[in-house]
Structure 1
Amino acid sequence: MTVKGENILLFQRIIPEYRKAIFRYLHNSLGIIVCYSDYTKDMKSVSLDFPSENISKIYYGKSQTAILQNPLPKIFKYKPKIIISEGSTSYGTVWLLVLFRLFFRYKLIIWSHGVKSHQSNAPFQGFSGKLRLFLFNTADAILLYSKTPLKVLSGIVNNPTKIFVAENSIDTDAMNRLYQKLNDKGKYAVKSELGWKHTYNLIFVGRLLKSKGLQQIVEIFELLPVDFDTALHIIGDGPEMSFIKEKAIHNSKIFCYGACFNDEQIGKYFYAADLLLMPKAVGLTIVHAFSFGCPIVSCENVPGDSLSRHGPEFEYLINNVNGIIVENDSILIASQIVELLKDTERYDFFSEQALNIEKKVSMEKMSEGFKNAINYLSNK
């Protein structure tokens, strides 16, 4: 039987906007209470409509995950039987939770990417790798973002039966309802509402970080034929914003919208767009795009470029089915974009296949992974 209510805490650094729906779902279905800290000053904090606990933090390094929180007040308050923690080794709080477990006797679930794609052949190398393996071995259960690292991890950790998968997702049910609403209007009408006048529209949605390859995205766009009537729409904010704004000043086909947290507005962008252009660091945005029938153009990971590695969600992209995976060459990518958009039959097939994402991932299926890990510990 699943332990519910105040018996389960989940420790996070922050709660991004895209995580609100799943954390609300986890609370409603499993009674999980999320303990989190506020954003840094350059990121907008979110308002929450479900029970949660805000905790103070300090940064002890340059990494965004190098955060230390004090979990003790919440442990005393809730007396949890199970604690779930994100599993970055630089997340200082997770090590406090490992230590405090000796005194408070709760079970600890590590929620993690597991093994990154570029490390599959030689996982857990070096000091950081060995530290991660120690964390996995000391955990009572491991919850992975995707199935890809499961096989590798199962052959290495001390007890493979404690590994579970909660495939990363957003609220695909809500996205599907919005898609149906927009589809009733039609693509031409939605493009008109947005003021999009070009024949083809490429889109990027996410934090404007160097690791996302914004400069390459603009380079690819500028390599498209002059007579190929295409616009590039950038939705997001971050350190690369000044670069994008400068490019938009000198190129009337580049549009910069800033950050957007309105689900309906973002849905319109994805629905009206023809392709999501994201050569590097693909993450949950792929689920968002697919939910509106927007295929993706991306690349294999670049050797030696660890900062731009794709997230586990990259496995949802099936080459020549719901998008294309191209060699990381801007000229080649540009030519592939033109070829795909000109081939309407092939493009329509990609778009239809992208919409099938709802059959693969959902909040319900993701929650099931959490439930399986919790039940495993509850029954021990």
Structure 2
Amino acid sequence: MKKVLIIQTLVKQYRVSFFEQLDQALKSEGIQLRVAYGDPTEAERQKLDNVELSSEIGLKVQNYWFLNDKLLYQSLWTEIFKSDLVIVEQASRHILNYFLLLFSTLKLKKVAFWGHGWDRQAETPKFSEWIKLKTINKVDWWFAYTEGTAKYLKQCGVPKNIITVVQNSIDTEEFKQYLLNVTSEDLERVREKLKLKNTDKIGLFCGGLYANKHWKFLLESNHLIRQSIPEFKLLVLGDGPDRQQVIQTVNQHPEVLYLGSKFGYEKALYFRLSDVFLIPGLVGLAILDAFVAGVPVVTTDIPIHSPEIEYLIPEINGFVTEHNQQEYAHKVINLLLDEQGLTQLKSGALDSSKHYNVETMVNNFKEGILKALLK
């Protein structure tokens, strides 16, 4: 039986279904999957979205951090040598990666990268990005997040025939069921609890509370939106390092409701209540929750978005404005006042959700693994 090892720093809640389904898909091909991972750093722990895998799939190891969490070592030599293919994050902080790149060069081990291609959140060029660029073409296979990632890889000289576009996604089926189970009585109960009127226009933010999400920009834009739409209310869902700052700011604005982290059915309730999904900062996989709920996304044209920003098609399932509060607020105001246009965007968002799902990602990943093993 062929063995595949995926090495992760940690495991996020949204990845569990993917790993479980990939495990089953590979078993049907006579391939064993192991996912090695460790505990999160304190900064990651504060996001409250880290989980553990079952022992059948997961292998919990000790994370050894150095240089103020800039370098990571995981002792996985036994698993590495037992595996036919090792898939690692394309991250320069992983000490093991440098040994694996050497093994790949010497044809001692098949190694694959899984990643974005470059750090979209880096404000200035870093030494770590230089390392990524120098090693980008030193593996046997590439699992690219999106078509945009694949395009970048090809520009950097990575052969097209060793790139698999996985179409990064999450398991939206469970969330879809939660949304379908929300009743009009449930919505009325939540409106009463939050003191919302049926005529209120609702904006929703759902995500991590940290600087790159530009939550301050959103709260300032909220003030401008309310000047034109007094019945506008903003719901903020999420947690993170900036939680206390958000609470302190929100306390000064009664029209903004901070509700903390919400999951499953509770999260579905708030998505069903909302007219628009407002995320002026970094857009990631949360965009798929919005699409499944049929809620159009409004963001800004900043360079730090994750690859999933490619899924947003302006005037089809959302909008991208200049990173300017007046422009952002103006777009949201026009959208909320255009009932026909808003309905069309909601329909477009729902239609987009059909193209991005974990089943497609699992199949793409499986096919890439099969090809990599044959290489």
TM superposition score category, shorter chain reference: 0.7 to 0.9
Instruction: Output one character per residue of 1:30-80: Cα deviation in whole Å (capped at 9) or x when no partner.
Output: 2422111112344344243452011111222456x742212224335xx11
CA contact (8 A) 2:137 2:157 kept: yes
Stretches of structure 1 that go unaligned for 5 or more consecutive residues are 120-124, 303-308
Distance 1:106 1:327, change over 3 A: same
Shift of residue 15, structure 1, vs aligned partner: 0.6
Task: Work out whether 1:326 is the aligned partner of 2:321.
Answer: yes
Root mean square deviation, CA, Å: 2.6
Q: Deviation of residue 253 (structure 1)?
A: 1.4
Change (3 A) 1:62 1:319: farther
SS of match in other structure, 1:143: strand
Question: How does the TM-score come out when normalised to structure 1?
Answer: 0.86
Query: Which whole-Å deviations, capped at 9, do the CAs of 1:318-346 have from their partners, x for residues lacking one?
Result: 11111111111101211211111111110
Q: Report what 2:136 is aligned to.
A: 136
Q: Which letter maps to 1:133? A: L
Matched, 1:209 2:204: no
Alpha-carbon distance in structure 2 between the residues aligned to 1:293 and 1:369: 25
Which position in structure 2 is the counterpart of 1:197? 196
Structure 2 letter corresponding to 1:335: H
Distance 1:299 1:126 in 2: 24
CA displacement at 1:268 relative to structure 2 = 1.8
Aligned to 2:115: 112
Check the 8 A contact 1:220/1:330 in 2, yes or no.
yes
CA distance in 1 between counterparts of 2:113 and 2:38 reads 18
Which whole-Å CA distance do the structure 2 matches of 1:106 and 1:364 have between them?
29
Counterpart in the other structure of 2:101:
98
What SS does the corresponding residue of 1:208 show, helix, strand or coil? coil
Deviations 1:254-286 (A, max 9, x none): 1222233x2222222222211111112100010
- The offset of 1:360, in angstroms, is 1.4
The answer for the alignment partner of 1:244 in structure 2 is 246
Are positions 1:71 and 2:70 aligned together? no
Establish whether residue 14 from structure 1 lines up as the match of residue 19 from structure 2: no
Indicate conservation of the 8 Å contact 2:12/2:51, yes or no: yes
Give the AA of the match of 1:339: N
| Superposed displacement of residue 96, structure 1 | 3.7
**Shift, 1:10, TM fit:** 0.6
CA distance in 2, matches of 1:111, 1:193: 46
Identity among equivalent positions (%) equals 26
Aligned partners of 2:105 and 2:138 also within 8 Å: no
Seen in structure 2, the aligned counterparts of structure 1 residues 185 and 91 have a Cα distance that, compared at 3 Å, is farther
1:316 pairs with one of 303, 311, 317: 311
2:65 to 59, 64, 67: 59
How far apart are residue 105 of structure 1 and its match? 3.1
Decide whether aligned partners of structure 1 residues 220 and 92 sit closer, same or farther in structure 2, where only a CA change above 3 A counts.
farther
For 1:39 and 1:245, the matched residues in 2 are separated by 25
- Give the 3 Å change call, closer, same or farther, for CA 196–357 of structure 1 in structure 2: farther
Aligned to 1:229: 231
Aligned to 1:179: 179
Corresponding residue for residue 83 of structure 1: 86
Q: Offset at 1:193?
A: 7.3
| Cα drift, residue 180 of structure 1 | 2.4
- Cα distance change on mapping 1:97 and 1:178 into 2, 3 Å: same
The offset of 1:230, in angstroms, is 1.7
- SS of residue in 1 equivalent to 2:305: coil
Is the Cα–Cα contact under 8 Å of residues 11 and 53 in structure 2 kept in the other structure?
no
Count of residue correspondences: 360
**What is the CA–CA distance in structure 2 between the aligned matches of 1:345 and 1:371, rounded to whole Å?**
42
**Which amino acid is 1:57 matched to?**
N
Cα gap change, 1:375 to 1:352, in 2 (>3 Å): same
CA change 1:245–1:129 in 2 (3 A) is: closer
Verify the 8 A CA contact 2:80 2:86 in the aligned structure 1: no
Letter in 1 for 2:159: N
2: CA distance, partners of 1:52 / 1:103: 28
- Structure 1 pair 66/348, CA: closer, same or farther in 2 (3 Å)? farther
Q: Which residue of 2 aligns with 1:349?
A: 344
> 2: distance between equivalents of 1:194 and 1:154?
53
Post-superposition offset of 1:21: 1.4
In structure 2, distance between residues paired with 1:118 and 1:211: 8
Q: Deviations over 1:63-111 (max 9, x none)?
A: 6x742212224335xx111111111222333224334557993311100
Taking the aligned partners of 1:314 and 1:221, their CA distance within structure 2 comes to 22
Task: State the alpha-carbon separation in 2 of the partners of residues 186 and 170 from structure 1.
Answer: 29
Q: CA deviation at 1:139?
A: 0.6
In the aligned structure 1, how far is the partner of 2:185 from the partner of 2:295? 14
Distance, in Å, in 1 between the alignment partners of 2:142 and 2:298 is: 32
Deviations 1:146-169 (A, max 9, x none): 001322322432532101100111
Amino acid across the alignment from 2:196: K
CA distance in structure 1 between the partners assigned to 2:102 and 2:62 by the alignment: 19
Cα pair 1:133 1:157 within 8 Å, conserved:
no
Secondary structure of the 1:180 match is helix
Letter in 1 for 2:97: V
1:305 match: none
Match of 2:364 in 1: 369
Structure 1: distance between partners of 2:71 and 2:185: 46
- CA–CA distance in 2 between the matches of 1:341 and 1:251? 21
1:273 equivalenced with 2:274 (yes/no): yes
- What is the rounded CA distance, in whole Å, between the counterparts of 2:320 and 2:306 in structure 1? 15
**Separation of aligned partners in 2, 1:211 and 1:92:** 27
Q: Offset of 1:200 from its aligned partner?
A: 1.5
Distance 1:8 1:52, change over 3 A: same
Secondary structure in 2 aligned to 1:225?
helix
Q: Distance in 2 between matches of 1:13 and 1:193?
A: 43
